[in-house]
Each structure stands twice: as C-alpha cells, then as structure tokens.
Amino acid sequence: MSNPFENLFAPIKELNELALKSIEEITAIQVKAIQESTQVNVEALKSVAEIKDVDTLQKYLASQVEVAQNLSTKAVGDAQEIAKLGESYATSVKKIVEKSIPSA
C-alpha cells in the first residue's frame, strides 16, 4: 500500500523536478547566447583596432550590419526555443496536476 505522505507530496516533487529541469534548459540557452555575444563583441573590438583608413572603416561598418543581422536571427531562434520550452512546461504541469487529482 502507498504511503499517504508520498501520495500527497509526489506531485509537488514532480513539479519541483520539472521546474528545475526547465530552469536548467533556459539557463543553458542564455549562457550560450552570452558566450556568443561576448565572442562577437571581442571580434568587433579586434576589427576596430585594425581600422587604419576610410576603406577599412567602411569595411568594418559594412560587416557590422551582417553581425547585427546574425545576432538578431540568433535571438529570434533562442526566443522560439524558450517559447517551446514554456509550452512543454505548461503541458507537463497540466498532466501532473490532472494525474494528482482523484477521479470522481
């Protein structure tokens, strides 16, 4: 026979584990984005240091448009991934709650 204490707290434990997993996944996405952004900024600083004349300045400015577009695309992708995680989280929470409510 099941322990009443376990029956009472099993859904809470499941929800906590689910929340932890979700936080870890979102944090991983954010850490990756920060690392990529940092790398892009370091590369930009290196490029700025190499500007010697108007021609290299124009090349730098042109390259920054592409860099901004890439960052924007990655940000949209990250946001979509986080949205999918949110949907999955909500679905899982609903299942846990429904499972924990006794049938009438």
Condensed to tens digits (0 to 9), the pLDDT of residues 25-45 reads: 999 999 999 999 999 999 999
Give 44-93 pLDDT, tens digit per residue: 999 999 999 999 999 999 999 999 999 999 999 999 999 999 999 999 99
Helices 54-100 & 4-49 angle (0-180, nearest 10): 180
pLDDT band at 7; cut points 50, 70, 90: confident
Q: Which residues of 10-28 are buried (b: 16+ CB within 10 A; e: fewer)?
A: ebeebeeebeeebeeebee
Side chain identity, residue 100 = S
Query: Quick check: 104 pLDDT over 90?
Result: no
Residue boundaries of the structural domains of the chain: 4-98
Q: What is the pTM of this model?
A: 0.79
